[in-house]
């Protein structure tokens, strides 16, 4: 047979490979006597709690999920989430029932419970509740004015969602569940060998002709790291595809900024400080209806809406190298929010009026959580305290008659919240392998009192500040909230559990101190005062 040069080359390679494998096989069969060698390696100690599935009714949405789902605002964060939706709209005719109530999303609906019955927090800092509409009388029950839209999704690395009664370690009590926004951190992007990170995005949404430009930058080493996140959005009203009805004109923009840094002070302590800022401005124009005839338009209203939020936080994580305590995590925070809806409306009997509807809050607080392992017991306990001050300035210009005049919708307030919880995970092995019993309890206390009550009686000859304070008074309440869970792992990847939880929610300022016509007297002996709003 004739062998070409190419074929001969491959044949030689094949013989060489076969010979090499034969030699290696023979070498493997021979007994080998080697002197033992000592291996000198650095010892590595890892301190971390064991990872285990938790019997919980919570799940998370990552930053990547929000980007892929096109999450552009408070409402679209929950896009494609089963049994969860946002209540209210960012702007438009359906956003409020009064001519000046158009202030954003009012919360989330989880399994039928919505708005203020679902807690919302940003990095464990509770967000303000949506304001009630007590000035609308009984027709305003279960409706809302200024909403709870204080977030830009680009700033957050994860959104945690609890359905139903919340866990005992949740400081923001709620009946229908909780939504927690977790800010991005440098640890999300940096790891050993990677000391810097940068990414940017620029996108267009044809729904409301909006542009989004955002950047995320992180840098640092093991001892010191930091992150900067910025987001800018500009847009208009959402497009309507109906031939007979067009969307009301709107023009809006927002800016959001997050700065955070971490310092590994020593092997046991890690300190993290952060500041975040959010501002949204919205300019709208829409039709208003006559209060005398519901089928007659009264003219065109113009509104300038401004929403701001900024917060500060300082967090210390202590992981001792020895002793019974596994970790002690403490945090202090401060938050300030502002909502200003300035609306120019046509008057009932001609002319124009301007309504200045504001809602401002200040929150300061702290919390601490302890975790430790004692034999079969995994113990967790914590305490928390916070104080919230609310102010609801409300004015009209020019001064109107009793038929047009609206008083301040609710009294200013101050609320003190205290809480503590304890939880013990008892491993039932070896008696029942894979089973555990988890009892827990939370104690919550709230005291709320009105402030500046005399403002509600301004210009009235029928009632004064002391009368209003007697009507309202201080409200104190304490709740004991137990929980019990029995879990059993059918297999390493399948966990089953039976769980009982009790949850509660304290009333907010709108529910306790809503007001309607406290100082009016045009109805004579039939005049009444409606206080509170249970919506």
Contact 184, 193 (CB under 8 A): no
Nearest to 334 by CA among 380, 366, 375, 302: 366
Strand pairing class (107-110; 113-114): antiparallel
**Mean predicted confidence (pLDDT) in 302-319:** 95
**pLDDT at residue 94, rounded to an integer:** 45
pLDDT score at 199: 96
Instruction: Find, among 347, 341, 337, 367, the residue nearest to 444 by Cα.
Output: 367
- Alpha-carbon torsion 383, 362, 63, 165, what sign? positive
Q: Which two tokens stand for residue 125?
A: 């800092």
Least confident of 189-193, 284-288, 318-322: 284-288
pLDDT of residue 532 exceeding 70? no
Q: What is the pLDDT of residue 50?
A: 57
In which band, very low, low, confident or very high, does the pLDDT at 122 lie, cut at 50, 70 and 90?
A: very high
Residue 254: what pLDDT? 97
When comparing pLDDT for 490 and 407, which is higher? 490
pLDDT at 96 over 50: no
Q: DSSP assignment of 451-489, as one string?
A: E-GGGGGTT-SS--HHHHHHHH--EEEEEEEEEEEEEEE
Tell me phi and psi for residue 7, to 5 degrees: -65, -40
Q: How far apart are CA 150 and CA 130, in angstroms?
A: 11
Contact 203, 211 (CB under 8 A): yes
For residue 154, the model assigns a pLDDT of: 97
pLDDT of residue 13: 39
Q: What is the pLDDT of residues 455-503, one digit of tens each?
A: 877 766 677 778 788 888 899 999 999 999 999 999 888 899 999 999 9
**Cα 65 → chain centroid:** 16
Looking at residue 95, its pLDDT comes to 46
Residue 435: beta bridge partners? 488
User: So what's the pLDDT on residue 460?
Assistant: 67
Spatial CA neighbour of 379 closest among 342, 327, 319: 327
User: Which residues, 6+ apart, have CB-to-CB distance to 53 below 8 Å?
Assistant: 489, 495
The pLDDT confidence band at residue 138, using thresholds 50, 70 and 90, is low
Distances (CA, A) of 436 to 246, 282, 305, 425, 463: 59, 52, 52, 7, 60
**CA 91 to chain CA centroid, nearest Å:** 20
Q: What is the pLDDT of residues 513-530, one digit of tens each?
A: 877 666 555 554 444 555
Token pair 């919708």 is found at 409
Q: How far is CA 180 from the centre of its chain?
A: 4
User: How much of the chain exceeds pLDDT 90, in percent?
Assistant: 52
Chain-centre distance for alpha carbon 427: 33
What is the predicted pLDDT for the residue at 139? 66
11-67 pLDDT per residue, tens: 333 333 333 334 334 444 445 455 555 556 667 766 555 556 677 788 999 999 999
3-state helix, strand, coil in the chain (%, to 5): 15, 50, 40
Q: Which domains does the chain have, with CATH numbers?
A: 192-531 (2.40.170.20)
pLDDT tens, 420-455?
A: 999 999 999 888 888 999 999 999 999 999 998 888
Cα dist from 475 to 130, 287, 450, 508, whole Å = 20, 40, 9, 10
pTM over 0.75: yes
- Per-residue pLDDT reduced to its tens digit, 148-207: 999 999 999 999 999 989 999 999 999 999 999 999 999 999 999 899 999 999 999 998
Retrieve residue 269's tokens. 């302590």
∠ at Cα 102 (514, 207), nearest 5°? Answer: 150
* Pairwise CA distance, residues 472 & 465, whole Å: 11
Q: Which of 314, 265, 304 is nearest to 124 (CA)?
A: 314
**What is the rounded CA–CA span in Å between residue 299 and residue 289?**
7
Would you state the structure tokens that stand for residue 176, as one six-digit string?
Answer: 């229908």
Instruction: Quote the mean pLDDT of the chain.
Output: 83
Share of the chain above pLDDT 70, in %: 80
Mean pLDDT, to the nearest integer, of 66-79? 92
Mean pLDDT lowest for which of 329-333, 408-412, 435-439?
A: 408-412
Q: pLDDT higher for 416 or 355? A: 416
Give residue 377's pLDDT band: very low, low, confident or very high (50, 70, 90): very high
Cα dihedral: 405, 409, 412, 415 (round 10) = 170
328 or 45, higher pLDDT: 328
């Amino acid at each position: 047979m004739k062998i070409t040069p190419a074929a001969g080359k491959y044949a030689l390679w094949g013989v060489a490979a076969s010979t090499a494998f034969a030699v290696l096989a023979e070498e493997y069969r021979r007994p080998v006597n080697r002197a033992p060698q000592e291996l000198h390696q650095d010892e590595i100690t890892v301190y971390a709690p064991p990872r285990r599935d938790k019997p919980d009714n919570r799940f998370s949405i990552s930053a990547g999920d929000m980007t892929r789902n096109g999450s552009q605002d408070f409402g679209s964060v929950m896009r494609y989430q089963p049994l969860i939706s946002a209540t209210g709209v960012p702007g438009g005719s359906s956003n409020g029932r009064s001519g000046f109530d158009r202030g954003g999303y009012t919360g989330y609906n989880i399994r039928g419970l919505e708005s203020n019955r679902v807690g919302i927090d940003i990095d464990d800092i509770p967000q303000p509740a949506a304001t009630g509409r007590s000035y609308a009388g009984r027709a305003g029950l279960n409706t809302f004015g200024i909403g709870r839209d204080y977030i830009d999704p680009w700033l957050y690395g994860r959104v945690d969602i609890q359905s139903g009664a919340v866990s005992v370690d949740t400081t923001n009590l709620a009946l229908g569940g909780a939504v927690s926004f977790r800010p991005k951190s440098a640890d999300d992007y940096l790891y050993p060998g990677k000391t810097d990170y940068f990414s940017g995005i620029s996108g267009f949404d044809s729904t409301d002709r909006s542009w989004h430009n955002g950047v995320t930058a992180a840098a640092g080493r093991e001892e010191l790291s930091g992150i900067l996140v910025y987001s800018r959005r500009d847009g208009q009203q959402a497009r309507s595809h109906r031939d007979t009805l067009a969307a009301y004109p709107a023009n809006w923009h927002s800016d959001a900024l997050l700065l955070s840094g971490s310092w590994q002070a020593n092997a046991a302590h890690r300190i993290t400080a952060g500041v975040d800022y959010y501002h949204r401005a919205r300019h709208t124009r829409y039709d208003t209806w006559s209060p005398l005839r519901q089928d007659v338009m009264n003219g065109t209203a113009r509104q300038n809406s401004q929403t701001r939020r900024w917060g500060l936080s300082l967090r210390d994580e202590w992981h001792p190298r020895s002793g019974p305590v596994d970790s002690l995590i403490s945090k202090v925070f401060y938050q300030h929010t502002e909502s200003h809806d300035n609306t120019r409306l046509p008057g009932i009997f001609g002319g124009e009026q301007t309504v200045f509807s504001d809602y401002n809050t200040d929150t300061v607080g702290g919390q601490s959580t302890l975790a430790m392992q004692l034999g079969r017991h995994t113990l967790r306990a914590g305490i928390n305290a916070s104080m919230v001050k609310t102010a609801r300035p409300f004015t009209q210009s020019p001064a109107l008659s009793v038929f047009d005049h609206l008083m301040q919708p609710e009294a200013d307030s101050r609320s003190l919240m205290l809480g503590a919880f304890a939880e013990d995970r008892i491993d039932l092995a070896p008696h029942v392998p894979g089973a555990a019993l988890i009892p827990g309890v939370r104690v919550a206390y709230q005291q709320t009192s009105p402030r500046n009550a005399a403002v509600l009686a301004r210009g009235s000859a029928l009632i004064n500040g002391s009368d209003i304070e007697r009507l309202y008074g201080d409200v104190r309440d304490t709740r004991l909230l137990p929980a019990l869970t029995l879990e059993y792992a059918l297999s390493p990847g399948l966990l089953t559990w039976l769980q009982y939880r009790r949850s509660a929610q304290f009333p907010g300022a709108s529910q306790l101190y809503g007001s309607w016509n406290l100082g009016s007297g045009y109805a004579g002996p039939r005049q009444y005062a409606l206080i509170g709003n249970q919506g």
